[in-house]
Amino acid sequence: MYAAGLLIACSCLISESYQRAPFPEQEKDPTFWNTWAQKTLKNALTLQTLNTNKAKNVILFLGDGMGVPTVTATRILKGQLSGHYGEETQLEMDKFPFVSLAKTYNTDAQVPDSAGTATAYLCGVKANEGTLGVSAAAVRSQCNTTKGNEVTSILKWAKDAGKSVGIVTTTRVNHATPSAAYAHCVDRDWYSDNEMPAEALMHGCKDIARQLFENIPNIDVIMGGGRKFMYPQNTSDVEYPTQPKMSGTRKDGRNLVQEWIDKMKDKKGNYVWNKQQLLSLNPNNVDYLLGLFEPSELAYELERNNDSDPSLTEMVDVAIKVLKKNQNGFYLLVEGGRIDHGHHEGKAKLALYDAVEMDRAIGRADLLTSIHETLTVVTADHSHVFTFGGYTLRGNSIFGLAPKVSDADQKPFTAISYGNGPGYKIVNGGRENISTVNYESSHYQAQAAVPLLSETHGGDDVAVFAKGPMAHLLHGIHEQNYIPHVMAYAACIGQNQNHCMSSGGTVGLQPAFSSMASVLAVTRFLW
């Protein structure tokens, strides 16, 4: 009887909170919407003048697991954190003039993983799930299928063209996304030789951490986590010396960090492992930077130690300042990697706060670069089975309740839910009554339809936002592997160089296209 009364009271409170006018008074006036639309139309008309400059710089922001529902929820959260309703807020990526969709499937998977997708949007070739920097002819975990099936990434194309290159991530630097930029590996889990089977080592396959330092010499900026994979087994971590699980993992006895330090000692190379060291650097005196801030992944943004751990925005700020000194320009890969991890745990709050931080980093990059010479692309590798609904009213907390209880089990539910994952709970034969839990907690696991220890990726298309030189080439719906080809074309690197003009700073048509136009013109004249 008490529980029923509590539920009725809860329902009344929910209903009462939704009886207030949930939107600004000005929005009742049609003039408000007409003026806004006309302003948007005026801006859209300016896009007819396309930016065909040569891209001196190229930046790819990758929100791991940042599907379209995550983008929308991030927008609402960003606005609500600033005291607004949220829905009307603009993300930095929302301001990009060109938006398209990318199909994310792997060659062997309808719903993809982060390794196969990374190979697509970095190397321009679709691949099997779990494999990095190799074609679909390579078989996951079979070392002997690596040789001859290697494919190179846009990071290498840029480095070969004389540009500075960098990788910034909130995951370990040898995690799936960054690894495809430099590694050729048939198993994304071969972080160090400790994680590799004896057969793979015997056949000469290299672990991913080792490939980071050996495959593409002198990557200019590397920042993220993953310290323990660089040190010999049982080497105590500098930050967590009493925690064995944070200690080094390498069986070959190599200290990859020290090897890097020794190699770069006369090349203005700097190794840092905490925020204070990073922010004390003068980028003008740094040509090479290695920053490893955690033994494994960096902390979620909501749990980050602001005194000792740099934010993604701070890392991006330093990275660009180091890279932009190169007169030939730069290529930078930035990953908001823990968006994905938050979703896998069913903890939407952790995921969305990390997405807000990545959007903040996008804004910082905008201030440090020019749209006239920098092509910036924001996308995701894949989506998640994350959604929000329930007919919530305007301004409802993105982590809040739907306005009415379920008409099936008469229990409240949050707007956010997952198609599967660890949030599935049965209590007394039915769905858990979340009025008894703190659903606004950072570690609240949103309810899921199917019980799984880890929530899965989604198979839906992801958005691709683009601005800068040749950004209009990212339009419509494309295969995910199309993305690096556009970026390379705009920057005149890799296989996309024949069309580049030697002067004037613009990108022209390929000679083959011009020749074909001439042939058609002559044919028409003769006809």
User: Each residue of 142-171: pLDDT tens digit?
Assistant: 999 999 999 999 999 999 999 999 999 999
Tell me whether residue 256 is exposed, middle or buried, using C-beta atoms within 10 angstroms of its C-beta: 0 to 12, 13 to 18, 19 or more: buried
Tell me whether residue 63 is exposed, middle or buried, using C-beta atoms within 10 angstroms of its C-beta: 0 to 12, 13 to 18, 19 or more: buried
Same domain for 330 and 446, yes or no, is: no
What is the average pLDDT score of the chain?
A: 92
Same domain for 350 and 418, yes or no, is: no
| Helix residue spans in 103-150 (DSSP H) | 114-123
| Spatial separation of the C-alpha atoms in residues 86 and 238, rounded to whole Å | 42
The residue type of 43 is N
Q: Is the per-residue pLDDT at 381 higher than 80? A: yes
Same domain for 74 and 158, yes or no, is: yes
pLDDT for 502 equals 55
Concatenating the DSSP letter of every residue in 201-256 gives HHTTPPPHHHHHHHTSTT-SEEEEE-GGGGSBTTPPPSS-TT-GGGS--BSS---H
State yes or no: is 114 an active-site residue: yes
Residue 66 lies in a domain: yes
Q: Which position has the higher pLDDT, 498 or 235?
A: 235
**Bridge partners (DSSP) listed for residue 388:** 416
Q: Is 516 helix (H, G, I), strand (E, B) or coil?
A: helix
What number is the average pLDDT over the span 500-522?
46
**Binding site residue list:** 64, 175, 177, 335, 340, 344, 381-382, 457
What number is the average pLDDT over the span 42-48?
88
Entry pTM:
0.92
Same domain for 321 and 401, yes or no, is: no
**Binding site residue list for Mg(2+):** 64, 175, 177, 335, 344
Q: Is the per-residue pLDDT at 354 higher than 70? A: yes
Residue 499 lies in a domain: no
Flag the least confident range among 6-10, 307-311, 404-408.
6-10
Residue 308 lies in a domain: yes
pLDDT for 251 equals 98
User: Please, which pLDDT band fits residue 48 given cuts at 50, 70 and 90?
Assistant: confident
In this structure, are residues 312 and 164 in contact, taking their beta carbons and an 8 Å threshold? Answer: no
Tens-place pLDDT, residues 236-256: 999 999 999 999 999 999 999
Tell me whether residue 524 is exposed, middle or buried, using C-beta atoms within 10 angstroms of its C-beta: 0 to 12, 13 to 18, 19 or more: exposed
Q: Is 345 helix (H, G, I), strand (E, B) or coil?
A: coil
In this structure, are residues 307 and 348 in contact, taking their beta carbons and an 8 Å threshold? Answer: no
Same domain for 474 and 435, yes or no, is: no
User: Please, which pLDDT band fits residue 522 given cuts at 50, 70 and 90?
Assistant: very low
Flag the least confident range among 4-18, 284-298, 313-327, 479-493.
4-18
pLDDT for 15 equals 43
What number is the average pLDDT over the span 118-123?
98
**DSSP conformational letter for 378:** E
Percent of the chain with pLDDT over 90: 87
Same domain for 171 and 156, yes or no, is: yes
pLDDT for 390 equals 96
Tens-place pLDDT, residues 74-107: 999 999 999 999 999 999 999 999 999 999 999 9
Same domain for 337 and 438, yes or no, is: no
Domain CATH code at residue 209: 3.40.720.10
User: Please, which pLDDT band fits residue 322 given cuts at 50, 70 and 90?
Assistant: very high
Q: Is the per-residue pLDDT at 384 higher than 90? A: yes
Tens-place pLDDT, residues 214-237: 999 899 999 999 999 999 999 999
Concatenating the DSSP letter of every residue in 270-282 gives EEE-SHHHHHT--
Same domain for 438 and 463, yes or no, is: no
In this structure, are residues 249 and 238 in contact, taking their beta carbons and an 8 Å threshold? Answer: no
In this structure, are residues 223 and 298 in contact, taking their beta carbons and an 8 Å threshold? Answer: no
Same domain for 229 and 287, yes or no, is: yes
pLDDT for 24 equals 86
pLDDT for 325 equals 98
> 504 is written with which tokens?
């004037």
Residue 464 lies in a domain: yes
**Bridge partners (DSSP) listed for residue 507:** 500
Which domain range does residue 334 map to? 50-384+458-489
Same domain for 168 and 276, yes or no, is: yes
User: Please, which pLDDT band fits residue 23 given cuts at 50, 70 and 90?
Assistant: confident
Residue 390 lies in a domain: no
Same domain for 263 and 405, yes or no, is: no
pLDDT for 521 equals 39
**Binding site residue list for Zn(2+):** 64, 340, 381-382, 457
Q: Is the per-residue pLDDT at 285 higher than 60? A: yes
What number is the average pLDDT over the span 24-52?
91
Residue 504 lies in a domain: no
Q: Is the per-residue pLDDT at 518 higher than 60? A: no
**DSSP conformational letter for 415:** S
What number is the average pLDDT over the span 47-56?
93
Flag the least confident range among 11-25, 241-255, 472-486.
11-25
User: Please, which pLDDT band fits residue 501 given cuts at 50, 70 and 90?
Assistant: low
Residue 501 lies in a domain: no
Tens-place pLDDT, residues 415-463: 999 999 999 999 999 999 999 899 999 999 999 999 999 999 999 999 9
What number is the average pLDDT over the span 11-16?
43
Residue 299 lies in a domain: yes
Quote the number of domains for the chain: 2
Exactly one of 11, 17, 100, 114 is catalytic; which is it?
114
| Spatial separation of the C-alpha atoms in residues 374 and 354, rounded to whole Å | 24
Same domain for 425 and 464, yes or no, is: no
